Structure 1
Amino acid sequence: MTQVEQDLPADDGTATRARGKRPPQGEPVIDRAFALLDCFDLDHRFLTLGELSRRSGIPASSALRLAGRLMAWGALERDDAGRFSIGVRLWEVASLAPRGHGLRDVALPYLHDLAEATREHVLLAVRDERQGLLVERISGHRATEVLYRVGGRLPLHSTGVGLVLLAFAEPDFTEPYLDLPLRHDPEQTLVDKARLRRTLAEVRRERIAIFRRAVPSPVLSVAAPIWDADDTVAAALSVVVPDQTFDARRLAPAVQTAARAISRALGAQRAVGRTT
């Protein structure tokens, strides 16, 4: 038992909260624990108790009790300065996710082949709700600048892998998504919905997505779908290279070949498709 646990009474979910911070009635303890974990992001890897309380909306006393329990399980850690961070036990559990590390283990040899050929970036992503989730990224030592890290989220409508995942999503997901007020990231320019629809149709037809971005540096992304044993698109694979340095038409067959090989390894029957 940690010192934090020894100093605190058990939390049965009914502890009195500070005025003005009362959660929705009947909010389970597990929801509040998830709210604490959700406070961390790329820009907030270490948080004090006060920061946890403010970012989660949970009073400091309750946040400390919950943090103590999460520390005891290994979901949180605390440094000598008293700051909390995500614990490695969460990484251990997350590594069991078949859509993450299971897919990654199958794809990794093919990702390395592409990375060796381009000496730039090779990305593997899956769709998680309304965003893409980057499962793996292999990068050359002198690769161009990219925006997204492993475990990070990326927009579906303005990345190469995202366009693939959006194009092959089920219609009852795609149509509501296209009704959203979409902006390109990081430019924050409005998305031309008619043009996006044409792009998605082309991606479905050709099984390849070609996407260019001018900031923070001009890059070209060439992406292809990865199919699973249920003949649905389980992931997207892409290479990200400096624009005007590589020819998209020459990159596309290599990306599609790698994507089909991964699809076959996953048991897909639709892996052999058209190449451009």
Structure 2
Amino acid sequence: MGSRPDERGALGRMLQVLECFDEDEPALTVAEMARRTGIPLSSLHRWVALLAREGLLARGPGATYAIGSRLWELGELSPLSLRLRETALPHLARLYEATGENVHLGVLDGASPETSAVLFVGRVTGLNSIPVVSRAGGRGPLHTTGVGKALLATRDEPWLRRYLRAPRELETQHSVVAEEALRADIDRARARGFATTREEMTLGNVSVAAALPRVEGLPPVAIGLVVHLDRADERRLGPLVVQTARDLHAALRDAR
């Protein structure tokens, strides 16, 4: 990750360091952090020492550092954890028990439509579930994931116009990226109450997802299943996902 203008001072520097970690490289040396952030080594050593002292970074083997437990502790205080995920887990588990498939919980995340993505905040999976690329805390594109497409179906026209102006990546040869085709998928999701993707993010996988009605104090939320193409019975899975979304919405509303 390249350096950003340091207009936020110390906070900006700390975020630069913390944001240079990713799923592919969760542990980095100070030299690797310097290459990713553009911060001079002399300054970076001071920042790393400070962050490690406060528990925001943790020392690892081979002179590496990783995200510290203090960040995890603070993150668990987020409404996405305390309110949404904790309330959702029994409903996600019930959907998994009914299907035996991967169950995902995601929210719309982004400062603007052009930069928005789905943030996965919860997942239930089992030994017989198919492998998926998503993880709790990970992000995915809106146009090629089931939960992402369900979230797109909740957006109004001005928001969609801005979103559709941004380029969309072709994740597989089946990804829907053209505006007309994507709008047709969004209209179809609105009409039947759930969205689908077929091999658009991962070959061989199908996703079925439904958005919740808006919940005050939370970003837009959607629940989805990821199943193998051979087991993708949308007529059976769609109503199960829709009912789970309704049940979770009722639980969140009653818990306020």
Q: With structure 2 as the length reference, what TM-score do the two structures score?
A: 0.89
Q: In structure 2, do the counterparts of structure 1 residues 201 and 44 end up closer, same or farther at CA, with 3 Å as the change threshold?
A: same
Displacement after TM superposition at 1:212 (Å): 0.8
- Percent identity reads 36
Q: Is the 8 A contact 2:144 2:176 kept in 1?
A: no
Q: In structure 2, do the counterparts of structure 1 residues 189 and 204 end up closer, same or farther at CA, with 3 Å as the change threshold?
A: closer
Q: In structure 2, do the counterparts of structure 1 residues 105 and 41 end up closer, same or farther at CA, with 3 Å as the change threshold?
A: same
2:208 is the alignment partner of 1:227: no
Alpha-carbon distance between aligned partners in 1 of 2:108 and 2:121, rounded to the nearest angstrom: 10
Question: Which one-letter code corresponds to 1:221 in the other structure?
Answer: S
Alpha-carbon distance between aligned partners in 2 of 1:203 and 1:73, rounded to the nearest angstrom: 46
Structure 2 counterpart of 1:202: 188
Equivalent residue for 1:87, pick from 46, 50, 68: 68
Alpha-carbon distance between aligned partners in 1 of 2:212 and 2:37, rounded to the nearest angstrom: 37
Alpha-carbon distance between aligned partners in 2 of 1:58 and 1:119, rounded to the nearest angstrom: 47
Question: Which one-letter code corresponds to 1:158 in the other structure?
Answer: T
Equivalent residue for 2:246, pick from 235, 255, 260: 260
Cα root mean square deviation, aligned: 2.3
Displacement after TM superposition at 1:141 (Å): 0.4
2:50 is the alignment partner of 1:64: no
Structure 1 counterpart of 2:89: 108
Alpha-carbon distance between aligned partners in 2 of 1:71 and 1:232, rounded to the nearest angstrom: 31
Q: In structure 2, do the counterparts of structure 1 residues 134 and 201 end up closer, same or farther at CA, with 3 Å as the change threshold?
A: same
2:25 is the alignment partner of 1:44: yes
Alpha-carbon distance between aligned partners in 1 of 2:187 and 2:59, rounded to the nearest angstrom: 49
Structure 2 unaligned regions, length at least 5: 111-115
Higher RCO structure, 1 or 2 (CA under 8 Å, sep 6+): 2
Q: Is the 8 A contact 1:224 1:236 kept in 2?
A: yes
**Aligned with 1:146: secondary structure?**
coil
For each residue in 1:52-104, what CA deviation from the matched residue of structure 2 results, as whole angstroms up to 9, or x when unmatched? 01101101111111111111211101124221100011111111111244201
Alpha-carbon distance between aligned partners in 2 of 1:236 and 1:74, rounded to the nearest angstrom: 33
Question: Which one-letter code corresponds to 2:66 in the other structure?
Answer: S
Q: Is the 8 A contact 1:225 1:233 kept in 2?
A: no
For each residue in 1:228-276, what CA deviation from the matched residue of structure 2 results, as whole angstroms up to 9, or x when unmatched? 44498731001111112231111111111110000011118xxxxxxxx
2:132 is the alignment partner of 1:146: yes
- How do residues 150-165 of structure 1 correspond to structure 2 at under 5 angstroms? 150-165=136-151
Displacement after TM superposition at 1:200 (Å): 1.1
Structure 2 counterpart of 1:240: 226
Structure 2 counterpart of 1:8: none
Question: Which one-letter code corresponds to 2:143 in the other structure?
Answer: H
Q: With structure 1 as the length reference, what TM-score do the two structures score?
A: 0.83
Q: In structure 2, do the counterparts of structure 1 residues 78 and 68 end up closer, same or farther at CA, with 3 Å as the change threshold?
A: same
For each residue in 1:125-159, what CA deviation from the matched residue of structure 2 results, as whole angstroms up to 9, or x when unmatched? 01111111111111110211211111111000111
Alpha-carbon distance between aligned partners in 2 of 1:229 and 1:157, rounded to the nearest angstrom: 23
For each residue in 1:179-199, what CA deviation from the matched residue of structure 2 results, as whole angstroms up to 9, or x when unmatched? 111123255967121010111
Alpha-carbon distance between aligned partners in 2 of 1:214 and 1:166, rounded to the nearest angstrom: 15
